[in-house]
Structure 1
Amino acid sequence: MTTRPKPLVIAVAAVSGGGKTTVTKRLAEILDRSKALYFDDYEFSGEPDDLCEWVAQGADCNVWNLSPLRSELQFLSLCHEPPLDFVVMDYPFAYLHEEMKSLIDFAIFIDTPLDIAMARRIVRDYTADTMNRVASDMLHYLDRGRPAYMQMLRTVKPNSDIVVDGELPLTTIIDTIVEEIGSRYKK
């Protein structure tokens, strides 16, 4: 019996508005035999009701029961036809979740300045909203949200294999990542 080659699992993290979904989508488009997974597409038991409170209590990633995502990764590794070479995940924790770290081969952090990430969020989320709603979100960010972003910079960023400058054009970010994958993982 021949052993099926395991796809290279790539995790892409960034703060909200940092570019992780865009980078994940683009990598999956250009990497041969690849599939993209998006963290927000799953429902997890144990997911904190209040993310800001979760961060204030230490942001332990292991409280998240990521079984649906683990199961999907295992299926893609063992059963997907045709076999995949890559699975690219929009995933916020790099190697910090104990049950997921053994499934991840390469963790990327898109280091996007918080002002750029916030501007992207406003354009993405509030194009048709009132100024009151935008102002309310900005006040929430200043009061409670910014500590969550800072927590990612303190924990996820240093637990990633590479850090890519989120101010760079998308094509440069993608070229940098593809070059790094090619130099580390020759298939």
Structure 2
Amino acid sequence: MQTATPPLVVTIAAISGGGKTTITKYLKERLQNSKALYFDDYDFDGPLNIIDWVDRGADYDEWNLSPLLNDVELLLKKPLEYILIDYPFAYKHTKAIHYINLAVYIDTPLDIAMARRITRDYKNSSKEKIFTNIQNYVSFGRRGYLEMINTIKPNSDIIVDGTLPIPEIAELIYEKIQTWKCSNL
């Protein structure tokens, strides 16, 4: 008796505002028999100050990803073809790497990501609040974004241009997933 093939676990990473949640949702619709998990849906124990964490060397294992990994384990037991995870760490967390088959990085320029974040997170905010956010980004927040570009991007299997239209990004990732699946099964 042949056992079922476990689901292919694909993580989608990008800087904040880089499109990981949007692309994960889009791919979930495109890939039949798939489930998606979203990093922001969890309340993880981890560093309280991200910039301090980056300055101390960004040890990804400081994050307790147990809630997410428990959900991945549950989904791996289901008759699925794909598990998509909006997840910013690629292969950098030692407990998560055992679950990941393919890590995708959406390479979105910092200016576009910042514009998206302001549009998404501050559309009803005062100009003072927007200005303060931009000042914080310039003063120290940018280091967090650069950490991802310098560490997560080179640690990913697939890198996709984040300036492309969403359907095009999703289609490129879809094609690469299919190619990977064909060559690894």
Identify whether the pair has TM-score above 0.5, normalized to the shorter chain.
yes
Return the offset for 1:22: 0.3
Q: Which runs of 5+ in 1 are unaligned?
A: none
Find out whether 1:144 has 2:144 as its counterpart.
no
SS in 1 for 2:95: helix
Give the match for residue 13 of structure 1: 13
Query: By how many angstroms is 1:102 displaced?
Result: 1.2
| AA aligned opposite 1:56 | D
Partner residue of 2:154?
A: 158
TM-score normalized by the length of structure 2 = 0.96
Amino acid in the other structure paired with 2:121 = D
Give how far 1:4 is off. 3.2
* SS of the residue 1:142 aligns to: helix
Structure 1 residue 182 displacement after superposition: 1.1
Deviations 1:22-56 (A, max 9, x none): 000100111010011000111222x1111111111
Q: CA deviation at 1:2?
A: 4.7
The CA deviation at 1:3 is 2.5
Q: Distance in 1 between matches of 2:139 and 2:59?
A: 21
Q: Which runs of 5+ in 2 are unaligned?
A: none
**Aligned equivalent of 1:98:** 94
Q: CA RMSD in A?
A: 1.1
Separation of aligned partners in 1, 2:171 and 2:66: 32
Q: TM-score, normalised by structure 1?
A: 0.95
Within-5 A mapping of 1:80-95 = 80=78, 83-95=79-91
Q: Which portions of structure 1, spanning 4 or more consecutive aligned residues, are displaced by more than 6 angstroms?
A: none
Counterpart position of 1:34: 34
Count of residue pairs the alignment pairs up: 183
SS in 2 for 1:35: strand
**Sequence identity, in percent?**
49
